Amino acid sequence: MTSDEKRALILDKLADHVLAHGLSASSLRPLAKAAGTSDRMLLYYFTDKSALIAEVLQHIAARMVIAMEGATAPQPLPYDVLLARLSAALSDPGFAPYMRVFLEVASGAANGDATLSQIGEAIGRGFLDWGKAQLQSDTPDIDAARLMVTLEGTVFLRAIGMGDVCRTALGTIE
Amino acid sequence: MTSDEKRALILDKLADHVLAHGLSASSLRPLAKAAGTSDRMLLYYFTDKSALIAEVLQHIAARMVIAMEGATAPQPLPYDVLLARLSAALSDPGFAPYMRVFLEVASGAANGDATLSQIGEAIGRGFLDWGKAQLQSDTPDIDAARLMVTLEGTVFLRAIGMGDVCRTALGTIE
DNA sequence: CGGCGCTTGTAGCAAGTGCTACAATAATGT
DNA sequence: ACATTATTGTAGCACTTGCTACAAGCGCCG
């Protein structure tokens, strides 16, 4: 097994751990344990902790893109339909971990973490573009923006146990 | 100065520090320094760290309520107007720290922190009720929910440097 | 005055943090 | 076979984390 393959394998397990336990529970030793290696080795493969985290988050983002491909409708959908679909998808147990991590990234970014700030925006823009491509609309930019604001709002509220409010808010639209 | 007064004074300075630097930078020693005392004393006044954080967050919530009183319109406003107003208010430098902390609370709650979960929901419900009272609507529950989802969505997006998307999304409504 | 309880400082502990120096092993090319 | 390089383990450093044991100071009531 080449060094690159090892790296890729480790990266995969690191992503699993971050998705399962969050960034705050992702210090080097727990990460190393989850990847079946040592903290020493993590810093051998990834120059830095922040570099490591950056790569892991990008890996996670790539995974999410793939998962979303599966949720992609064959044709663009009108705003209301797409919103209902995505809102349901994001609360799916399969997707929820991504949203938890995304929320944590946003929080870290708001507190001044440069790495998280940069990656958070990249992921966010990617998601926005993807949504725009799914939208059947005369004003795709505006509707994609509204879609995204609404969806992230539901992520936020569900995080604090206010999923019922999300349902109330979106119930009028379906 | 009585013991209660001292406690209240400390609490106030702790709130300042959390608002300025976030929960992640709020371990006992920095907090103590900000309050002009020692970690030892913090654990004398507040049984636990989590109890301390709980009280600080409630204090912060209470402050925000007061600040919002100042932003309260004399009469209820229609949805679009209220949304525009609150959206502008939340990105105001005076309010933004509250939102940063709120976001951090949500993130912590999503990661299973019981204290943050409980307090986050309490604050969220309070905010929802306050919004409902400001709303002039035939369907106040639904509109308040939509208002809240949208506003928290903008908080999220602004955190990752996508304030432009918020503007695009809300621009259509004003 | 004397004792008693509230308040506070000093010092430290055990665990965890990112990271590194050093050396031993394994692989690789000449 | 040998020298060089890549890979990995061991051990540790300097620091932060929440929290605590101990004792000294303090005021207050008898």
Task: Indicate if the pLDDT at residue A95 is higher than 60.
Answer: yes
> What tokens were used for A3?
């060094």
Instruction: Return the closest-CA partner of residue A136 out of A173, A172, A82.
Output: A82
Instruction: Return the closest-CA partner of residue A30 out of A45, A51, A44, A16.
Output: A16
> What tokens were used for B63?
């402050």
CB B91 within 8 A of CB B158: yes
Task: Indicate if the pLDDT at residue A22 is higher than 70.
Answer: yes
Task: Indicate if the pLDDT at residue A148 is higher than 60.
Answer: yes
**What pLDDT was estimated at residue B11?**
97
Which residue's C-alpha is at the least distance from the C1' of D17? B27
CB B156 within 8 A of CB A103: yes
Summarize pLDDT for B68-106 with one digit per residue, the tens: 888 888 999 999 999 999 999 999 999 999 999 999 999
Question: Touching check for A109 and chain B: CB below 8 Å?
Answer: yes
**What pLDDT was estimated at residue A174?**
42
**What pLDDT was estimated at residue B5?**
84
CB A144 within 8 A of CB B106: no
User: Which amino acid is residue B99, in one-letter code?
Assistant: M
**CATH 1.10.357.10 residue ranges in chain A?**
1-64
**What pLDDT was estimated at residue B144?**
98
A172 pLDDT tier (thresholds 50, 70, 90): low
CB A27 within 8 A of CB A65: no
Decide yes or no: CATH 3.10.28.10 for domain B1-61.
Answer: no
User: pTM score, two decimals?
Assistant: 0.95
Distances in whole angstroms, Cα of residue B38 to Cα of each of B18, B24, B54, B166: 16, 19, 19, 42
**What pLDDT was estimated at residue B165?**
98
Instruction: Cite the DSSP H helix spans in chain B.
Output: 3-21, 28-34, 39-45, 49-70, 79-90, 96-110, 114-134, 140-159, 163-171
Instruction: Return the closest-CA partner of residue A123 out of A140, A146, A93, A98.
Output: A98
Which fold, A1-64?
Tetracycline Repressor; domain 2 (1.10.357)
Task: Nearest chain B residue to A145 by CA: give it.
Answer: B169
User: Which amino acid is residue B84, in one-letter code?
Assistant: A
Contact B103 A124 (CB under 8 A): no
Q: Cα A23 to the chain's mean position, in Å?
A: 12
Task: Indicate if the pLDDT at residue B40 is higher than 70.
Answer: yes
| Nucleotide nearest residue A28, measured CA to C1' | C18
Tell me the C-alpha distance between A33 and B112, whole Å: 21
Partners of B124 on chain A (C-beta within 8 Å) are 157, 160-162, 165
At residue B77, φ and ψ (nearest 5 deg) are -120, 155
> What tokens were used for B70?
């100042």
Among A residues 148-167, those touching chain B with beta carbons less than 8 Å apart: 148-157, 159-162, 165-166
Radius of gyration of chain A (CA): 18
Mean pLDDT over B9-20 rounds to 98
**CATH 1.10.10.60 residue ranges in chain B?**
1-61
